[in-house]
A and B are shown apart, each in its own frame.
Chain A
Amino acid sequence: MIRLENLTKLYGSFVAVDDLTLHVPRGALYGFLGPNGAGKTTTLRMIAGILRPSQGRVLIGGDDVQAAPLAAKQRLGFIPDRPFVYEKLTGVEFLRFVAGLYGQEGELVERRIAELLEVFELTSWKDELLEAYSHGMRQKLIISSALIHRPECIVVDEPMVGLDPKGARLLKDILGEFVRRGGTVLMSTHTLEVAEAMCDRVAIIQHGRIVAQGTIAELRTQTAAGSASLEELFLRLTGGTVGRELAAVLGEEPPA
């Protein structure tokens, strides 16, 4: 469903994404993991058509995001990590506007807006300007906006940031159900428990390159990690250590 072919992104001489190739099959929930600055967000923004690749291409359902952007984007719902919205629109107006961008309007859209607001517990806020929404509420609204046109696949960057436990659980359920109904999700996250619990497959990216990909079991085999948790696998693959020189960072123990 989502195919990245030799995707590269250069910022001057800095290689943010380096010849990355990845295939996310239809009906899969694919985790995209990596340390800060590994190139996750850049990759997701190239998939969404916000950034232009320096080389390579992105195909969504067979449509090239650069060559046939409108067809490709029609299939996609994008949830960014930073919820920038039009501050002077209300929740309902924002969702109606987004639906309009996808060429949708009318009674069906109005009903869907009401449903989404209800599901995300934003109904009582629907006529309030977005400048009054909290970070989490904005995140919920953006998730609603990504679902409004019934996309075939969702690309989501750090979905749990800013959500309360109830909202996080709701999102997990929604993404799970979306995949169960044949949708495709590519999700970048730092919350390894979420990735371990939800994802069918994961790809781990570092310095703009995929260093490992597969199911958790396959990754354990690749790294000969036995029954290691995803966190340990992650640290092993990305070269981090747990608790390195913690004492030096935190200083002496405070006196009792």
Chain B
Amino acid sequence: MRQPTLPHVLRPKWHTALQRLREERSRGGSGKLLILTVVGLTFWGAVFGVLYRTLGYFSRVEDLGPYLGGKLLGLMLLSFMTILILSNIITALSSFFLAKDLDLLVSAPVDGLRLYLAKLLETLVHSSWMVALMAVPTLSAYGVVYHGGPLFALWVPVTIAPLLVLPAVLGYAVTLTLVNVFPARRTRDLLSIVALGAAGVLILLFRLVRPEQLARPEGFRNLLDFITVLRTPTSPFLPSEWAADAIMGFLQGRIDPLPVALLWTTAGAFVTLGALLHQALFAHGFTRAQEGAERFVRGVVWRATVGTLLRPLPVARREFVLKDIKLFFRDTTQWSQLILLAVLVVVYLFNIKALPLFQGERVPFFYVTLVSFLNLGLSGFVLASIAARFIFPAVSLEGRQMWLLRSSPLDLRALLWSKYWVGTVPLLGLALMLTGLTNLLLRASPFMVLVSLVTITALTLAISAMALGFGALYPQFETENAAQIPTSFGGLLFMMATVVLLAVVIVILAGPVYAYLRAAQAGDAVAVDGTMITAFALAAAVCATATVVPLRVGLRRMEQFEF
């Protein structure tokens, strides 16, 4: 029997992608495209700029320059590969075992090899596009600094492509093995915890070794040792090291075919071994993937604790809040993100503690006040990112069940109210903890502590409302994975709007804080005058508007939802 070609098997995927692109274009118009382009280019520009400066600095260091550049490239490619392996493991689980098109493909007379190659390509594209995009400004900076010329643009894809294939095969192999041991749904839970835990530990380790100390001259005790370490590759068996060698070799004018040959032959061997593993294990794994998680849950604890606490609320609101909390903590892909959140908080506090403010004799009153004040903006941004991840998707996640909510006499205000407070209460707790602890670490004055705590409370209420409002304005009802929702266009707009809010509030409050600083440094009492009161009132009004308006707009939008 004639087998369908690989492009034929993949056709529904790219047709869907093209159609989605067309729909996006018609929905958002050119404004949306413009915003996305500007944000994308700014990001690329920033990455390129930072690396361009760093490499420029390296290239001016005699003898060591190329080694430093090569070492940095090797490290970056190694981290790309690590991220890719983690991401491919999770993506392979969806595309090979849980995707909706599998029933059709597995029941059709498509041979195993085609299915494997099609799904491998799908996994590769889904998990690598972001890293590939990141590689563009990174490698462009290398090309420009080391004068790679136009041929470098052709050389890079030849070197990088096999580096994307290897993690895809490796990720699939790990997933395939796991699925043969655990049911797929249980594997998904397990993987999300392991992946996020690993990412969290990596971030923590990276921060806690305090890489900034390497930049200090007193850190280099033995220059010769340092050069020796730089000259030896991290490991001759690491494909990322081969790719770095190939790229740096090209940039230094000596094209060595060996690393590229190694990359391509290894990628070929991996794809072949992956195919053999697929033939041997896929059928069994796929069958196991159909098994449910078989989890009996009583839910008594939630009713006894949160349910009792919420007793004074009307029944519909109480049940809604309870339902949202249960869904969050029973979905491993949701709560496991708290691991990263905890890491983020620790790193944040560690950074504040590591600030070199208290090294001199003099009490650095000015800097402490300044950092404490600017910290409002930074922690506001952290809170906005958390709101984007946890509160922004709240409305979208109701999509499939909206038939129930809309056909019942539930007032949409109650729904929005529940969503708002379920998100806001923990966010506010975190905000107060972050601000309180940072002020404590900074030994800020009572005035600054008060200003910080009140402002961050008002900002949190507004950020939460904006997340919910923007989430209702730009819902993603078709996306089942909550983690993907914040990366949508609406999520981007929400983040931009929050940055504007933070900037406005900080600019308004800069006046009173400056007045306080001047008075304190002159040893005078702080004068609470009309200007100060007006500034505080204005900041409060801005936050109140940013709270009420998004909720109202969101409610109006929700009333127009159709399913």
A122 to chain B, nearest CB (A): 14
Cross-chain contact of B319 among A49, A73, A96 (Cβ < 8 A): A96
Q: Mark A55-96, 1 if CB is under 8 A from B, else 0.
A: 000000000000001110110101010001110111011001
In the bound complex, CA of A219 to CA of B125 (Å): 57
Q: By the criterion CB–CB under 8 Å, are A45 and B563 in contact?
A: yes
Q: For window 99-141 of chain A, which residues contact chain B by CB distance below 8 Å?
A: 99-105, 127-129, 131-132
- What is the CB-to-nearest-CB distance from A109 to chain B, in angstroms, rounded to a whole number? 9
- Asked if A26 is an interface residue, CB under 8 A from chain B, the answer is no
**Chain A contact residue count (CB 8 A cutoff):** 38
State in angstroms the CA–CA spacing of A89 and B303 once bound together. Answer: 13
Given contacts A51-B563, A100-B318, contact A89 B323 (CB under 8 A): yes
Task: Report the separation of the CA atoms of residues A93 and B560 in the bound assembly, to the nearest whole angstrom.
Answer: 28
Residue of A nearest to B412 (CB): A69
The binding surface of chain A is classed by DSSP as mixed
Q: Contact string, B407-424, partner A, CB cutoff 8 A, digits 1/0?
A: 111110000000000000
- Shortest beta-carbon distance, B179 to chain A, in Å? 17
With A76-B407, A78-B407, A97-B319 already in contact, the answer to whether A89 and B563 are too (CB < 8 A) is no
- A20 CB within 8 Å of chain B: no
Interface contact A50-B403, CB-CB below 8 Å: yes
**Is there contact, CB below 8 Å, between A88 and B331?**
yes
A212 to nearest B CB, angstroms? 28
Interface size class of B (residues with CB under 8 A): 35 or more
Q: Are B401 and A86 in contact (CB under 8 A)?
A: yes
Interface flag for B284 (CB, 8 Å): no
Interface check A160, CB cutoff 8 A: no
Q: Once the chains bind, are B295 and A128 in contact (CB under 8 Å)?
A: yes
- CB neighbours (8 Å) of A71 from chain B are 409
CA–CA, A248 and B44, complex, Å = 59
| Residues A101 and B406 in contact in the complex (CB < 8 Å), given A86-B327, A88-B331, A128-B297 | no
Tell whether, in the assembled complex, residue A129 and residue B295 are in contact, meaning their CB atoms are under 8 Å apart.
yes
Query: Are A84 and B403 in touch, CB under 8 angstroms?
Result: yes
The smallest beta-carbon distance between A104 and chain B, in angstroms, is 7
Q: Which residue of chain B is the closest to A104 with respect to CB atoms?
A: B315
> Using Cβ atoms and an 8 Å threshold, which residues of chain A touch B562?
50-52
Q: B292 within 8 Å of A by Cβ?
A: yes
With A89-B326, A131-B292, A132-B293 in contact, do A101 and B403 touch (Cβ < 8 Å)? no
| Known interface pairs A89-B327, A101-B404, A128-B295; A69-B409 also in contact (CB < 8 Å) | yes
Contact (A131, B401) CB under 8 Å given A100-B318, A101-B409, A105-B315: no
Complex contact B315–A48 (CB within 8 A): no
Pairwise interchain contact A128-B296, C-beta atoms closer than 8 A: yes
A73 to B322, CA, bound (A): 23
Tell me if B320 is interfacial: C-beta within 8 Å of chain A: yes
A50 close to B409 (CB less than 8 A): no
Query: CB distance B402 to A88 under 8 Å?
Result: no
Residue of A at shortest CB range from B318? A100
In the complex, the answer to whether B326 meets A101 with C-beta atoms within 8 Å is no
A85: chain B residues at CB < 8 Å are 401, 404
Interfacial chain B residues near A45, Cβ < 8 Å: 403, 563
Cβ of B277: which chain A residues have Cβ within 8 Å of it?
none
Q: Does A168 contact B (CB under 8 A)?
A: no
Bound CA span A88–B560, Å: 27
| CA gap between A102 and B409 in the complex, in Å | 6
Does B257 belong to the interface (CB within 8 Å)?
no
CA A99 – CA B403 in complex, angstroms? 15
Q: Which of B295, B314, B401 contacts A84 (CB 8 A)?
A: B401
User: When the two chains form their complex, are residues A100 and B320 in contact, meaning their CB atoms are under 8 A apart?
Assistant: yes
Chain B contacts for A128, CB-based, 8 A: 294-297
- With CB as the reference atom, state the residue of chain A lying closest to B322: A97
Interface residue B254 (Cβ < 8 Å from any Cβ of A): no
Q: When the two chains form their complex, are residues A101 and B319 in contact, meaning their CB atoms are under 8 A apart?
A: yes
Give the Cβ gap from A237 to chain B, nearest Cβ, in Å: 29
Q: Per-residue 0/1 for B18-44: is the Cβ within 8 Å of any A Cβ (1 yes, 0 no)?
A: 000000000000000000000000000
Distance in Å: Cβ of B272 to nearest Cβ of chain A: 37
Is A129 touching B401 in the complex (CB atoms < 8 A)? no
On chain A, the residues within 8 Å of B409 by CB distance are 69-71, 73-74, 101-103
Residue ID in chain A nearest B399 by CB atoms: A84
B299 at the interface (CB under 8 A from A): yes
Whether the pair B316, A103 counts as a contact (CB closer than 8 A) is yes
Given the known interface contacts A52-B560, A90-B297, A132-B293, the answer about A102 and B323 at a Cβ–Cβ threshold of 8 Å is: no
Give the docked Cα–Cα distance between A153 and B42 (Å).
57
* Known contacts A51-B563, A131-B185; is-contact A98 B295 (Cβ 8 Å): no
Decide if B563 touches A88 in the complex (CB within 8 Å): no
Per-residue contact bits, chain B 272-296, to A (CB 8 Å; 1 contact, 0 not): 0000000000000000000011111
Contact B411 A70 (CB under 8 A): yes
- Distance from B328 Cβ to chain A, minimum over Cβ atoms (Å): 9
C-alpha gap A51/B227 in the complex (Å) = 70
Q: In the bound complex, how far is the Cα of B403 from the Cα of A76, in angstroms?
A: 13
Q: Which residues of B contact A98 (CB under 8 A)?
A: 404, 408
The answer, yes or no, to whether B405 is at the interface (CB within 8 Å) is yes
Distance A97 CA – B480 CA, assembled complex (angstroms): 22
Measured CB to CB, the nearest residue on chain A to B328 is A88
B400 within 8 A of A: yes
Q: In the complex, what residue of chain A is closest to B405 when comparing beta carbons?
A: A101
Instruction: Let me know if B298 is at the binding interface, CB within 8 A.
Output: yes
Q: Inside 8 A of A84's CB, which chain B residues have their CB?
A: 400-401, 403
For the complex formed, measure the closest distance between the CB of B465 and the CB atoms of chain A, giving whole angstroms.
24
Contact of B405 with A132 in the complex, beta carbons under 8 Å: no
Q: Please state if B405 and A88 are interface contacts (CB–CB under 8 Å).
A: no
Q: Which residues of B contact A99 (CB under 8 A)?
A: 319
**Bound: A105/B315 CA distance, A:** 7
User: What distance in Å separates the Cβ of A61 from its nearest Cβ neighbour in chain B?
Assistant: 13
Asked whether B330 is an interface residue with its Cβ less than 8 Å from the other chain, the reply is: yes
How far, in whole Å, are A86 and B404 apart by their CA atoms in the complex? 10
Chain B contacts of A127 at CB under 8 A? 296-299
Contacts of A104 in B (CB 8 A): 315
Shortest distance between the CB of B157 and any CB in chain A (Å): 41
Q: How far is the CA of A70 from the CA of B406 in the complex (A)?
A: 10
Are A50 and B327 in contact (CB-based, < 8 A)? no
Contacts of A93 in B (CB 8 A): 299, 323, 326
Given A52-B562, A84-B401, A93-B323, 15 extra CB contacts under 8 A = A48-B406, A49-B407, A51-B563, A85-B404, A88-B331, A89-B323, A93-B299, A100-B318, A101-B320, A101-B404, A102-B409, A104-B315, A127-B297, A127-B299, A128-B294
30 A–B contacts from the bound complex (CB under 8 Å): A45-B403, A48-B406, A50-B562, A51-B562, A52-B560, A73-B409, A76-B407, A78-B403, A88-B326, A88-B331, A89-B323, A90-B297, A92-B299, A93-B299, A96-B319, A97-B322, A98-B408, A100-B316, A101-B316, A101-B320, A101-B408, A101-B410, A102-B316, A104-B315, A127-B298, A127-B299, A129-B297, A131-B185, A131-B293, A132-B293
